[in-house]
């Protein structure tokens, strides 16, 4: 590719000092705007803060954090910084952790968001000549329309396929010669099994070359599996509805973390318990301030997502902060027999072992007054039909691998391919059936 790999070269490669100056200018503007919203008028008053007092980026710390609970308790209209007439769109969170939260957008907000998503897609090589198929749900979920507008901004032919209907997804890929896919990682693995059922090979029988995978936590091994299965390059895409949706952070071709677009967000990484910033490179909860939103600007939003800043410059030339793959949400973690476990630790072990199929589920239950972790794992079709001894060897390897990684011994149940419940959106990995939970 001879042409520039940048969508907005100057902005993407801004020297850090200039980037900080831009952030400060934008932060002043957005806090001024916030003074028009009932929620922030009151919050600023209580914190003894006025936007005119914002002299450095560090002064941002004078503004209290905003939590999901604050958003819900106050109600979305209290966050509006513009007259309601100016709102042209509403999206809402998927409600994985409770009630869905609506987020309002002006026309300008939608434009700025589309531009960020376009920047991400362009960064990893999508161009006008590409055919982009969006397998994410359209509607209130941001993965559909968010990517749709971004792809059109790049100029690629966009297929708004929406979620589900797997055979039709595959037919669309073939009919239109889809080259780029936006797909939830757990669904990408499942779709692979549908290709097989149809007697097709996702690598040989499609034109696919790129996938943008995100919306749920997944391991490096999961990415590799998707890349192998489809014969493509897959890039991690991170975003959340409260910060508009996708387009917050995205992997560059170096695949050494995701660039978080600092012209549009201020990122802080804090200790989830104390709220204090962690040292550079340490893991903590990502806290985000949107610099580019007018309709419903949110400051210092506690995402509950765990990550770490990756120090040093990126070989791609982009100066924006890199963050590590999201380990999970602070509320994804479960405690069993006194041990803290993240579903991604389990996935890491599973996907490193041959014979493990495309889906798994962690069930926490109480058996004879004892808490127990049961792991239900789909195996590959070949293995299921094969030798019983091989299945038992696989079970032993899984138990051993898991004991090493999480230090408890789960019960492993190997199940038939396709037998575990599957969602069209984000995968639900954990089912907690324990008494007292």
Site string for ligand AMP, 323-342 (x = CB under 6 A): ---x--x-------------
Output the smallest distance, CB 194 to Zn ion, in A.
34
Q: How would you classify the pairing of strands 283-290 and 301-310?
A: antiparallel
Looking at 158, 303, 319, 359, which residue binds ligand AMP (CB under 6 A)? 303
Contacts with ligand AMP: how many residues (CB under 6 A)? 17
Output the smallest distance, CB 422 to ligand AMP, in A.
18
**Is 252 near Zn ion (CB under 5 A)?**
yes
The answer to whether 73 and 54 have CB atoms below 8 angstroms apart is: no
Range 148-207, binding ligand AMP (CB under 6 A): none
35 vs 424, which CB is nearer to ligand AMP? 424
Measure the CA–CA gap between 76 and 91, rounded to whole angstroms. 11
Q: Dihedral sign for Cα 30, 35, 37, 38, please.
A: positive
Contacts with Zn ion: how many residues (CB under 5 A)? 5
103 vs 379, which CB is nearer to ligand AMP? 103
Measure the CA–CA gap between 266 and 246, rounded to whole angstroms. 16
The burial class, CB within 10 Å (0-12 / 13-18 / 19+), for 394 is buried
Q: Which 8-state DSSP code applies to residue 425? A: S
Quote the distance between the C-alpha of residue 267 and its chain's center.
Answer: 16
Q: What tokens were used for 277?
A: 């910033």
Range 228-257, binding ligand AMP (CB under 6 A): 236-241
User: What is the tally of helices (H) and strands (E) in the chain?
Assistant: 12, 20
Output the smallest distance, CB 97 to ligand AMP, in A.
9
Looking at 109, 305, 347, 378, which residue binds ligand AMP (CB under 6 A)? 305
Q: Which does 314 bind (CB under 5 to 8 A by kind): Zn ion, ligand AMP, none?
A: Zn ion
Q: Which does 297 bind (CB under 5 to 8 A by kind): Zn ion, ligand AMP, none?
A: none
Q: Dihedral sign for Cα 257, 259, 265, 267, please.
A: positive
**Is 319 near ligand AMP (CB under 6 A)?**
no
223 vs 372, which CB is nearer to ligand AMP? 223
Alpha-carbon distances, residue 245 vs 24, 145, 228, 242, 256 (angstroms): 23, 10, 28, 7, 22
Measure the CA–CA gap between 295 and 178, rounded to whole angstroms. 35
Output the smallest distance, CB 2 to ligand AMP, in A.
30
At which residue do the structure tokens 């032919």 appear? Answer: 157
**Is 254 near Zn ion (CB under 5 A)?**
yes
Q: Which does 241 bind (CB under 5 to 8 A by kind): Zn ion, ligand AMP, none?
A: ligand AMP
For ligand AMP, the binding residues (CB under 6 A) are 93-94, 142, 214-217, 236-241, 303, 305, 326, 329
């Amino acid at each position: 590719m001879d042409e520039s790999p940048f969508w907005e070269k100057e902005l993407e490669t801004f020297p850090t000092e200039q980037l900080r100056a831009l952030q400060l200018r934008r932060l002043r503007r957005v806090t001024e705007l916030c003074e028009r919203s009932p929620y922030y008028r009151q919050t600023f008053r209580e914190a003894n803060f006025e936007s005119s007092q914002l002299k450095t980026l560090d002064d941002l710390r004078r503004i209290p954090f905003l939590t999901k609970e604050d958003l819900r308790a106050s109600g979305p209209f209290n966050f509006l910084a513009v007259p309601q007439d100016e709102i042209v769109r509403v999206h809402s969170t998927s409600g994985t952790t409770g009630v869905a939260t609506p987020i309002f957008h002006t026309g300008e907000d939608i434009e700025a968001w589309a531009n960020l998503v376009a920047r991400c897609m362009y960064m990893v090589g999508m161009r006008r000549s590409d055919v982009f198929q969006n397998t994410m749900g359209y509607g209130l979920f941001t993965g559909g329309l968010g990517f749709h507008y971004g792809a059109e901004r790049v100029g690629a032919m966009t297929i708004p396929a929406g979620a589900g209907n797997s055979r039709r997804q595959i037919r669309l890929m073939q009919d239109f010669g889809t080259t780029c896919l936006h797909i939830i990682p757990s669904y990408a693995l499942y779709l692979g099994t549908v290709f097989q059922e149809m007697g097709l090979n996702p690598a040989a029988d499609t034109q696919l070359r790129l996938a943008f995978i995100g919306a749920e936590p997944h391991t490096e091994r999961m990415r590799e599996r998707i890349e192998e299965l489809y014969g493509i390059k897959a890039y991690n895409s991170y975003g959340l509805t409260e910060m508009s949706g996708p387009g917050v952070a995205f992997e560059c071709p170096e695949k050494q973390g995701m660039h978080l677009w600092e012209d549009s967000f201020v990122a802080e990484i804090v200790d989830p318990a104390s709220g204090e910033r962690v040292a550079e490179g340490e893991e903590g909860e990502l806290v985000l301030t949107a610099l580019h939103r007018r309709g419903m600007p949110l400051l210092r939003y506690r995402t509950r997502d765990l990550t770490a800043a990756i120090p040093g410059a990126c070989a791609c030339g982009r100066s924006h902060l890199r963050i590590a793959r999201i380990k999970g949400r602070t509320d994804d973690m479960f405690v069993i027999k006194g041990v803290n476990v993240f579903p991604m630790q389990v996935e890491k072990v599973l996907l490193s072992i041959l014979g493990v199929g495309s889906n798994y589920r962690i069930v926490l239950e109480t058996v004879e007054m004892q808490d127990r972790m049961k792991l239900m794992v789909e195996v590959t079709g070949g293995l299921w039909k094969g030798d019983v001894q091989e299945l038992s060897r696989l079970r032993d390897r899984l138990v051993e691998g898991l004991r090493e990684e999480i230090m408890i011994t789960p019960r492993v149940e190997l199940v038939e391919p396709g037998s575990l419940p599957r969602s069209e959106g984000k995968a639900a990995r954990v089912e907690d059936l324990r008494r007292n939970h």
